Amino acid sequence: MLAKRIIPCLDIKDGRTVKGVNFEQLRDAGDPVELGCRYVAEGADELVFLDITATHEKRKTLAELARKIAKHLNIPFTIGGGIRSVADADVLLNAGADKISVNSAAVRNPELITQLADQFGSQFVVVAVDAKEVNGEWLVHLNGGRVATEHRLLDWIKESENRGAGEILFTSMNNDGTKAGFACEALAAVAEQVSIPVIASGGAGSMEHFRDVFTHGKADAGLAASIFHFKEIEISDLKKYLADQRIPVRL
């Protein structure tokens, strides 16, 4: 069995790492490159950097940030936010990113996933999906959760895979920032729907939550932000705990 990955996520606003609850009430969490270096030392498997205001404010993700990250870090990282074209992604790849993440732009123009996969390969393309359970149905949302769509979660992630996505990063908006646990039931349904890796996001608050997301949620990777940013859980301690639970991780 492949090792499960632990991935800190750094949400970027105006060049700073921020964290909120249910995508709102943002507070400063530090310099993204400094935090990234700390996570490398702690044993993170990968990092994700998302410019959470890039789509909303019509700004491109800064290639300068990708260059800084690539210069200082030696583990794979994904960067996303405001990527709307192959040209946007190419700039980030050349700046040192290992993968790019697309979200709202892909929903608006699904052909973008196909174009990116054809140009760079599926392993370069992460489709991030923000979804919210509304009246018992999981619906995809855009622009950092600000805009609801009629896309059903499972339909969209299957289409994303068919178009060439290499990974799915699924964030439950209901759970995001609550520290009440991942949306394991929905994650398991997502994992059963696709054959590509699924990264779970939204709701991590304890080591047990990671155990549950890898067992009940069937996720390939667990992503979290505030519990790592504010040192509520050390990644090295988390990995030792998971290993004790007989969950395969890289120690």
Q: Could you give the residue numbers annotated as active site?
A: 11, 130
User: Residue 226 and residue 26: Cα distance in Å, rounded?
Assistant: 11
Could you tell me if 105 and 84 are in contact, meaning their C-beta atoms sit under 8 angstroms apart? Answer: yes
Partner residues linked to 167 by β-bridges: 126
Token pair 């395969």 is found at: 248
Give the closest residue to 32 by CA, choosing from 2, 5, 62.
62
List phi, psi (to 5°) of 249: -140, 160
- How many Å apart are CA 173 and CA 22, to the nearest integer? 6
- C-alpha–C-alpha distance, residues 191 and 89, integer Å: 26
